[in-house]
């Protein structure tokens, strides 16, 4: 018994005339009659009364018609669901991200564009530290990881895409002696308390800050670890230190905070997407395509 038998039966039940049903189905009448008899034999019941070239449904046939129609409808729904999933129109994409990613227009624009074209795809947003992203790549916890460079080489089955490159700026309390300056050289901040992320060596904004300060010949003093960009801005507003942040941090501006460019060198921060090289999910591939279209590098 298969869905073809169900379809043949439903058409015969609707027409109550084998010849008309055969024309509607585009098959020979004897072949259709044979298929209906085979179905009855498999079920062990008669589905039709046959008398004087006329047929009517038996009670068993009436009951079977209800279920056969439902089965065909569910089969069609299943087929549509499979085709939509194959096109990436349904499913789920889980993204691990650093908080500063939500200040980056290329990333947000890509998400908005993907949501507009794939409204049935569920997106799981999981904020994590850069160190957690390294572990997530190894365990394939997320479909995509959006994090700050620099990063060590990812596992060999992963590739990366730079979504944006922002100059680093410094966030200062508006009462800071350097707050009125148009630009600030990094060595001028050597005696300040820095608010830095708790990133491992070789990874993320914390490592980038360490490298920049090393090049400026000082080690940043830090008595506070801050892993969210908005929290860093809030602590700067409270006069608790200064923070080196991507320029997009200015979107989190608060009263009592000024942002100034760094002068005297190239100080950049990359937002990077990591993804599986041999990705099979059509939904993930569609989101990757949106990220590539909106990348600003």
All domains of the chain in start order, with CATH:
3-86 (1.10.10.10), 94-159+271-294 (3.40.190.10), 164-270 (3.40.190.10)
Q: What is the pLDDT of residue 132?
A: 81
Tokens of 269: 């921060």
Contact 151, 130 (CB under 8 A): yes
> Nearest CA to 127 among 154, 146, 104?
146
Q: How far apart are CA 164 and CA 271, in angstroms?
A: 5
Q: What is the pLDDT of residue 130?
A: 75
Q: How far apart are CA 92 and CA 182, in angstroms?
A: 46
| Average predicted confidence (pLDDT) for the chain | 89
Q: Per-residue pLDDT tens for 126-182?
A: 988 777 877 787 788 899 999 988 777 777 888 999 999 989 999 999 999 999 999
How much is the pTM?
0.73
Q: How far apart are CA 102 and CA 186, in angstroms?
A: 26
């Amino acid at each position: 018994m298969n869905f073809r038998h169900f379809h043949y039966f439903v058409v015969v039940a609707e027409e109550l005339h084998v010849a008309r049903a055969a024309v509607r189905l585009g098959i020979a009448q004897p072949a259709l009659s044979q298929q209906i008899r085979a179905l009855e034999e498999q079920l062990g019941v008669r589905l039709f009364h046959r008398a004087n070239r006329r047929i009517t449904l038996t009670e068993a046939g009436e009951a079977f018609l209800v279920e056969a129609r439902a089965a065909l409808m569910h089969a069609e729904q299943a087929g549509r669901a499979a085709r939509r999933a194959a096109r990436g129109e349904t499913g789920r994409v889980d993204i691990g991200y650093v908080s500063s990613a939500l200040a980056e227009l290329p990333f947000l624009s890509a998400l908005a564009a993907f949501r507009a074209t794939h409204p049935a795809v569920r997106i799981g947003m999981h904020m994590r530290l850069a160190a957690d992203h390294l572990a997530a790549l190894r365990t394939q916890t997320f479909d995509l990881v959006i994090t700050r460079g620099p990063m060590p080489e990812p596992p060999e089955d992963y590739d990366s895409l730079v979504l944006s490159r922002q100059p680093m700026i410094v966030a200062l309390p508006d009462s800071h002696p350097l707050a009125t300056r148009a630009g600030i050289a990094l060595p001028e901040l050597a005696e300040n308390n820095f608010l830095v992320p708790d990133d491992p060596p070789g990874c993320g904004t914390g490592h980038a800050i360490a490298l920049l300060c090393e090049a400026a010949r000082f080690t940043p003093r830090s008595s506070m670890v801050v892993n969210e960009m908005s929290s860093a801005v809030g602590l700067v507003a409270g006069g608790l230190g200064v923070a080196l942040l991507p320029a997009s941090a200015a979107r989190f501006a608060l009263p009592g905070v000024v942002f100034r460019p760094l002068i005297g060198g190239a100080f950049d921060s990359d937002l990077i997407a990591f993804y599986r090289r041999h990705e099979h999910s059509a939904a993930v591939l569609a989101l990757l395509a949106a990220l590539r279209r909106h990348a600003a590098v």
